[in-house]
Amino acid sequence: MKLLGNNELATRDFGDSLQFVLTRNLGWVEVAVEVILVGGTLLLGWLQNNYILLGFGGVGLLGIVINWSHGRETVLMVSESRIIARGNLDSWFGKEITLSTDEISSVGWTPAGDGDGGGVYVRCKALHSWILPGVNEEHGRRVISAIEEKFPAFPIADRSAASILFGDDSGITTLGLSNKTAKTRDGSETGE
């Protein structure tokens, strides 16, 4: 085990489908932070007889156990007709997602924020599910590019104009301040 963890992404082309395997390698720092935070919260709650802290520590411990039980790998299979994601999907209960391409409105990558770790997602109408959670931007762009290249009709989200703050709803806004001419109140144009 290394000091800092990393993610490894392997891509395989099976002719009619693509397979992406994301392997998470934890480092000593991540393990130490989890143990210190959860263990410290449980110890402090026990020493102070505080049931609220014990509850938070218990939920944290349960989350760690569930995450470890789901394994270190996430396998994503993409074909022209469906997406199948199995393994660690950054979800407490789900270990597999199967969707037909007819159900999918878009596939894209988003950075971490708002309490999640980011990654490659699939959107079905209003539903948003992680299919490769926790991948960095380089891996996310590689996955999206491979899908787009192999299956050109696949619904890929346009992330080129999106911002971290406003998500997919943002875009380029032009105010027209660079124009040298302007209209006055009476409708005539003036120049500089």
CATH of residue 133's domain is 2.30.29
Say whether both 92 and 138 belong to one domain. yes
Question: d(Cα 88, Cα 9) in Å, to the nearest integer?
Answer: 14
Question: d(Cα 64, Cα 38) in Å, to the nearest integer?
Answer: 9
Among residues 70, 90, 124, the one where a domain terminates is 70
Say whether both 7 and 59 belong to one domain. no
Query: What pLDDT, on a 0 to 100 scale, did the predictor assign at position 118?
Result: 76
Say whether both 55 and 38 belong to one domain. yes
Question: d(Cα 110, Cα 135) in Å, to the nearest integer?
Answer: 9
Say whether both 2 and 50 belong to one domain. no
Question: d(Cα 168, Cα 121) in Å, to the nearest integer?
Answer: 13
The residue segments making up the domain with residue 32 are 28-70
Say whether both 92 and 145 belong to one domain. yes
What is the number of domains present in the chain? 2
Say whether both 113 and 125 belong to one domain. yes
Say whether both 120 and 162 belong to one domain. yes
How many CA atoms, within 13 angstroms, populate the side-chain half-sphere of residue 114? 8
Hey, what amino acid is at 187? G
The CA-CA-CA angle for residues 168, 21, 74, to 5°, reads: 70
Say whether both 18 and 37 belong to one domain. no
Say whether both 3 and 84 belong to one domain. yes
> Can you give the pLDDT of all 192 residues of the chain as single tens digits?
677 777 888 999 998 999 999 888 878 888 888 889 999 999 999 999 999 999 999 998 888 887 777 778 889 999 988 999 998 877 767 778 888 888 888 888 888 766 566 788 888 877 778 888 888 888 888 999 999 899 888 878 765 444 444 444 444 444 445 555 555 556 566 555
Say whether both 143 and 101 belong to one domain. yes
Alpha helices in 91-155 (DSSP H): 137-150
Query: What pLDDT, on a 0 to 100 scale, did the predictor assign at position 113?
Result: 62
Q: How many contiguous H segments (helices) and E segments (strands) does the chain have? A: 3, 10
* 44 in any annotated domain: yes
Question: d(Cα 25, Cα 5) in Å, to the nearest integer?
Answer: 5
Structure tokens at 54: 């014990």
Question: d(Cα 167, Cα 157) in Å, to the nearest integer?
Answer: 11
Alpha helices in 77-164 (DSSP H): 137-150
DSSP state of 107: E
Say whether both 3 and 94 belong to one domain. yes
Say whether both 77 and 47 belong to one domain. no
Question: d(Cα 180, Cα 71) in Å, to the nearest integer?
Answer: 61
* 42 in any annotated domain: yes
* 130 in any annotated domain: yes
**Count of other CB atoms within 10 angstroms of residue 93:** 7
Among residues 70, 104, 131, the one where a domain terminates is 70
DSSP state of 9: E
